[in-house]
Amino acid sequence: MTKVLKYDNVLAARVSDADFRAVCERADDEGLTRSEYLRYVVRMVADDPENAKRGGVLLDGLSMRKLSRELVKWGHHYNQGVHALNSIKFALDHGRGDLEWVSGKLDECALLLAQVEDGRGELSRKISGLAQHAIVGGD
């Protein structure tokens, strides 16, 4: 069941036929009502003149959660890889750790950092995919 939100305020504006058609087409393409589409546009950060010149990026909550999860996973793997490198340095500085141990730790680091790279590539593909579904575009 679709949740119906009640809003008390109404915003009206006169627009050209071309702008009206563009809003209708973009809203339809994204499966939104015109009101939903315009609410997304209104919520964009446009009060900063530099940001307004640049245009904006608007992501839905699901996309933001996916990106957030990937970044957290990426950060965890990166942190673990760096921690393993630091443990190698500490052990070698204190005369501990044989070649087999160091080799194992380096393999662990390589795996963790490869996972970071895989995550980075996946994140890049997801962001490129989001660009294909832009609700609000800019030049």
pLDDT of residue 51: 55
> Can you say how many angstroms the Cα of residue 33 is from the centroid of all Cα atoms in its chain?
24
Q: What are the tens digits of pLDDT across the range 49-59? A: 665 665 556 66
Higher pLDDT, 130 or 32: 32
Mean pLDDT of 79-106: 84
Residue 89 pLDDT > 70: yes
pLDDT of residue 4: 61
| CB contact set of 78 (below 8 Å; sequence gap of 6+) | 112, 113, 116
Spatial contact of 46 and 55, defined as CB atoms under 8 Å apart:
no
Mean pLDDT of 83-112: 85
Mean pLDDT of 113-124: 81
> What's this model's pTM, rounded to 2 decimal places?
0.43
Average pLDDT, the chain: 76
Q: What are the tens digits of pLDDT across the range 12-49? A: 888 899 989 988 998 888 888 888 888 777 766 555 56
Q: How far is Cα 52 from Cα 79, in angstroms, rounded to an integer? A: 36
Task: Report which of 110, 103, 104 is spatially closest to residue 81, judged by C-alpha positions.
Answer: 110
Higher pLDDT, 138 or 86: 86
Task: Report which of 49, 48, 50, 23 is spatially closest to residue 37, judged by C-alpha positions.
Answer: 23
Q: How far is Cα 88 from Cα 101, in angstroms, rounded to an integer? A: 9
138: confidence class by pLDDT, cuts 50, 70, 90: very low
Residue 2 pLDDT > 60: no
pLDDT of residue 65: 76
